[in-house]
Amino acid sequence: GQNIDQPTEMTATEGAIVQINCTYQTSGFNGLFWYQQHAGEAPTFLSYNVLDGLEEKGRFSSFLSRSKGYSYLLLKELQMKDSASYLCAVRDRGNTPLVFGKGTRLSVIA
């Protein structure tokens, strides 16, 4: 089976750094995606990792360790607009559909 775990909720302070973790157990692995979803809106793509290491994109970075079945999304210089749900999704092989975790709701407070 497939299992993707991420924390349900996190709270962080404006201007700080927050790390959202995702662990997965899948039969295979062909990429991990992070999406951002503001309340009442569609998910939007943030990052993609298929090889081990860190991918940086502005204030957002994503890290992958395939041997540990682990990824994290790092958000720096937090802003109030970063309050949203963050979804981790894994493709286990080929072009099979993404399997999503339940999402982490991040609240940024002043």
Which stretches of the chain bind other proteins, using CB under 8 A? Answer: 30-31, 33, 35, 41-45, 48, 87, 89, 91, 94-95, 97-103
Nearest distance from residue 39's CB to other proteins, in Å? 11
CB 32 within 8 A of CB 24: yes
DSSP-derived secondary structure letter, 80 = G
Q: Which is nearer to other proteins, 35 or 63 (CB)?
A: 35
* C-beta of 26 vs 78, nearer to other proteins: 26
The dihedrals phi and psi of 64, each to the nearest 5 degrees, come to -135, 135
